[in-house]
Structure 1
Amino acid sequence: MSIWRRIGEAISALASGEGLSAIFDRLRTPPERSVAFTIAVIALSAKMAKADGLVTRDEVSAIREVFQIAREDEAGAARVFNLARRDVAGFEDYARRIRAMFGDGQDCLCDLMEGLFHIAIADGTYHPAEDAFLLRVAEIFGMSEAEFRGLRSRFVPDAAPDPYAVLGVTHDMPVADIRKHWKQLVRDTHPDAMLARGVPAEAVKLAEKRMIDFNNAWEEIADRQEA
């Protein structure tokens, strides 16, 4: 069964008048997490689109890119997006329910934030309202300030990314510890690890850019140490 059919079934199970946010109270077990992850990214991106007041074609294309949505499944993705936009529940309520849904799955929440950043910058502009939105979501998810800065430095092209921020380490950390941390990030980014924590196969391509960013950051730090 395709993930979009499973998403359709989850939406159809909503009671009359029940908002999309109710789904997040139900999809908590591992087999359902890939469905939950997909709905969460699309739903929060819909709320984010309301934050800056625009829904651009680039942002819609970015959602397709994150999930590799086939043409026959576009209607299902649009249904989730529109349900979230119309839902009276605010984005903070969504974020709290999503965090509760994933429990201690902090890595999965970081994967989810990465998808949101990808969508936020799709139109070439990182709006202040989007920054405020993503910062608040990250706070609710329990992400540290360093983790959020690392994500933002990888995605927002306003300056050359600080390799230490990209890896989420400090400048005074011993290089051996940085190397150990980098290797753990690489292990966590492996597709098998992502699938195991509930990221749908359709979204695992997010790891390609992440792996490149992590490796480039480590190489830059290593080169500085050797200079």
Structure 2
Amino acid sequence: MSFWGKIIGGIAGFATGGPLGAVLGAAAGHAADAGVMGGRLGPNAATLASLLGSKEQLFAISVVVLSAKLAKCDGPVVRAEIDAFKRLFRIPPENMRDVARLFDEARETAEDFEPFADKLGEAFADNKAMLEDVLAALFQIARVDGPLTKGEVRFLQRVQLGFGLRAQEWERARDGQARPGAGESPGLDPYRVLGLPADATDEQVRAAWRKLMRENHPDTLAARGVPPEFVKRATDKVAEINAAWDRIKRDRKL
């Protein structure tokens, strides 16, 4: 079986949970014919993934490819970008190797990402909220190693076009704003969530957010053998921590 056949047959969809609400998982499926994609990620790969896999598999493949190619478009991929991808699209340990291989192949070049944005936009044209969440996640990956570059902005604008998102959806994704009805809790003090005074410096806020994310990440707790109910609680906590961080970023225009 080819590597691409294994990816299409093995990577499945997304379910509610995590900071974005997207979890890359695994499920049984029909593998693509051996060598159908030649083992390379070419311009026809998105079309073939769309034809040979389910919508959920197309989602999983597309977010991996878009994340990798976005990380590549401003130069060499750095560890912070990979870590951000793993945080936003949580991957079970048993699937990490296959997803990592796809990510590595995709990051060889920043080119040929457009078909994946277009196919994902077509497949989920009836779920703009999910597409907006994916765009917001890509913004977070782009910013993790510094301010947005012109190349990253062009990349994200093309993704927006492929997703068919409007200007206000772009602005919310760019600025880290919650979607209407997305469950933001306006009465929650974001500084209290992070354990900081309101006059904390930008660096102190950022450091506190990173520390809390490390301590509460569900995958970290699961690897330690923590009971499932505590892992679920950690998932909710991570969402709360990220919401607090996003509100502070908006207020401070970080």
What TM-score, normalized by structure 2, do the two folds share? 0.54
> Is it true that 1:101 corresponds to 2:127 in the alignment?
no
Quote the residue 1:162 is aligned against: none
Q: Secondary structure at the match of 1:58?
A: helix
Output the CA distance in 2 between the equivalents of 1:100 and 1:75. 28
Output the CA distance in 1 between the equivalents of 2:138 and 2:121. 15
Within the candidate set 85, 89, 92, 1:63 is matched to 85
Shift of 1:73: 3.3
Q: Secondary structure at the match of 1:111?
A: helix
Q: Whose RCO is larger (CA < 8 A, sep 6+)?
A: 1
> Is it true that 1:6 corresponds to 2:27 in the alignment?
yes
For the Cα contact (< 8 Å) 2:70–2:155, is it kept in 1?
yes
Quote the residue 1:82 is aligned against: 104
Quote the residue 1:186 is aligned against: 183
Flag the 1:54–1:38 CA change in 2: closer, same or farther, 3 A.
same
What TM-score, normalized by structure 1, do the two folds share? 0.60
Within the candidate set 23, 30, 41, 2:49 is matched to 23
For the Cα contact (< 8 Å) 1:41–1:115, is it kept in 2?
no
Within the candidate set 105, 112, 132, 1:110 is matched to 132
Flag the 1:118–1:167 CA change in 2: closer, same or farther, 3 A.
closer
Flag the 1:26–1:120 CA change in 2: closer, same or farther, 3 A.
same
Within the candidate set 111, 120, 132, 2:142 is matched to 120
Quote the residue 2:162 is aligned against: 140
**Cα RMSD after superposing both structures:** 3.8
Output the CA distance in 1 between the equivalents of 2:27 and 2:33. 10
1:51-92 per-residue CA deviation (whole Å, 9 max, x = no partner) reads 212200111111221233355533122122133345897111
Shift of 1:134: 0.6
Flag the 1:167–1:67 CA change in 2: closer, same or farther, 3 A.
closer
For the Cα contact (< 8 Å) 1:186–1:211, is it kept in 2?
no
Quote the residue 1:195 is aligned against: none
Query: Relative to total residues, which structure has the larger helix share, 1 or 2?
Result: 1
Unmatched tracts of structure 1, length 5 or more: 155-165, 169-181, 188-200, 221-227
Shift of 1:14: 6.5
1:145-174 per-residue CA deviation (whole Å, 9 max, x = no partner) reads 1211121112xxxxxxxxxxx367xxxxxx
For the Cα contact (< 8 Å) 2:69–2:110, is it kept in 1?
no
Shift of 1:211: 4.9
